[in-house]
Structure 1
Amino acid sequence: MRSRPRTYGGRSTEERRADRRGRLIDAALAIWGDQGWAAVTMRGVCARAGLIDRYFYESFADRDALLTAVWDQVRDETVTLIFAAIKDSGGGPLDRLRAAITAFVRSVEADPRRARVGFGEHAGSPVLEQRRHDTLRVFTDLMVEAGRPHFRADVDEDALRMSVLMGIGGFVELMTAWLAGTIPVDAERIIDHATTVGSELALRHLR
């Protein structure tokens, strides 16, 4: 006969473990967002999360595993946000582009610390450098597939992907400069400009 899962305070062991893991990720995100990834340490994260050291190793093999988990969570939430904005836009490809840009810029405006995960300095961390490259590919694929129904039948796939990469790379640099205060404009101006430039890159590939 299978035994029932043990519960503590009305929660199972798995639920309590998941809660601790979530608290560690949240603590690491807060430290990373305020001070950069290099400031994320096992002891610092545990202290902020209010957990003892052994609970860190319950969920993560080392600091790199924690940093990867934070990155993946922020990336996945961002992809979900942008995909929902594209789906709900209800317009043509350029309307979808503006919806995606608007959703992202507004999310960064609401919580700039999250942007520092993706836009911050990652030199010295091979794990984060690889994640950055992988995430660029994820967002390139997302934008290409979102626009595919509207591309010309004879579209040059290589040229298309190069245009998307240039657009995303330039957008990242624009957001980085905006967050640093180098470009003293409001969010709406950023959205308008990014949409205009993105549209210019996209038009050559559209029907």
Structure 2
Amino acid sequence: MGAVTTARTWGGRSADQRRTERRERVIEAALEIWRESGWTGVTIRAVCARTGLNDRYFYEAFADRDELLVAAWEQVRDDMLAALGGVFADYSSRPLPGLIEQAASTVLQRISNDPGFGRILLLHHAGSPALEACRGEALQLTANLVVGAAQTYVRPDADLLALRIDAIASVGGFVELINAWQSGLLDCSADQIVQRIVHLVSVLGPLYLENS
């Protein structure tokens, strides 16, 4: 007869549940420190001090600091992509300029409500190749959302490569606009930024879209 094993529990939680909770605490602490001091302040020592955990529990969840930084950044990215995914979920029945306007407004509203969110997600992370790679990947993912939404409206003779290039350039430019706005280099309102994005769509639209 085979041996029967049972998962040990503590306080009504299994070992796996406790590991998951500790991992979430470490990520939350990393995000708090990131908001306060930038990504360079997110050290293993600082995170362990913030959570009250020793480094053994840190290494139980993460191989190193870079892995933690990426996990924390991805949590913020997923939050934003979920919001944008909701905007683009039913694009087939709506004009593209209206979708882009709502998407830009969604991003700016989220950042206005939580400026630290924008700094984590969008600022350059010079000195961290792992975070710079994440930032580049997010730009591509967002451009893919825009190009995917545009497919419903694209003319049969449209240059799809040029469309993708313009989408990446537009998304990248939007990110830099937000960074300039957050840092005080651009003195304008969020609504003014949104309206300039809508204007850009109206200029580019006739190059690619039907009835634009």
TM-score by length of 1: 0.92
State how far apart, in whole Å, the 2-side matches of 1:199 and 1:45 are. 47
Q: Which runs of 5+ in 2 are unaligned?
A: none
Question: Does structure 1 residue 84 correspond to structure 2 residue 65?
Answer: no
Q: Deviations over 1:102-130 (max 9, x none)?
A: 11111111111111123223111111121
Aligned: 1:144 with 2:154: no
Q: Which amino acid aligns with 2:20?
A: A
Name the SS for the 2:7 alignment partner. coil
Shift >4 Å, 4+ stretches: none
Q: Which amino acid aligns with 1:143?
A: V
Alignment check: 8 A CA contact 1:177 1:183 kept: yes
Matching of residue 204 in structure 1 with residue 188 in structure 2: no
Aligned to 1:177: 180
Deviation at 1:193, TM superposition (A): 2.2
- Report the Cα offset of residue 188 of structure 1: 2.1
Change (3 A) 1:195 1:34: farther
Question: Structure 1 pair 203/33, CA: closer, same or farther in 2 (3 Å)?
Answer: farther
TM-score, length basis structure 2:
0.90
Name stretches of at least 5 consecutive residues in structure 1 with no aligned partner. Answer: none
RMSD between aligned residues: 1.7
Q: CA deviation at 1:189?
A: 2.2
| CA 147–5 in structure 1, closer or farther in 2 if over 3 Å, else same | farther
3-state DSSP of counterpart to 2:5: coil
Structure 1 residues 148-163: aligned runs within 5 Å: 148-163=151-166
Instruction: Quote the sequence identity (%).
Output: 41
Greater radius of gyration (CA) = 2
Conserved 8 A contact 2:158-2:207 = no
1:54 partner amino acid: R
- Aligned runs of 1:51-66 on 2, under 5 Å? 51-66=53-68
Q: What is the identity, as a one-letter code, of the residue corresponding to 1:73?
A: Q
Note if 1:105 corresponds to 2:108. yes
Deviation at 1:7, TM superposition (A): 2.1
Aligned-pair CA distance for 1:131: 1.5
In 1, the alpha carbon distance for the partners of 2:109 and 2:206 equals 25
Closer/same/farther in 2, CA of residues 6 and 199 from structure 1, 3 Å limit: farther
CA distance in 2, matches of 1:102, 1:140: 16
How many residue pairs align between the two structures? 207
Task: Indicate if the aligned counterparts of 1:167 and 1:198 stay in contact, CA closer than 8 A.
Answer: no
Structure 2 letter corresponding to 1:155 = A
Give 1:91 shift: 2.1
Shift of 1:186: 2.5
SS at 2:151 equivalent: helix
Paired residue secondary structure (2:144): helix
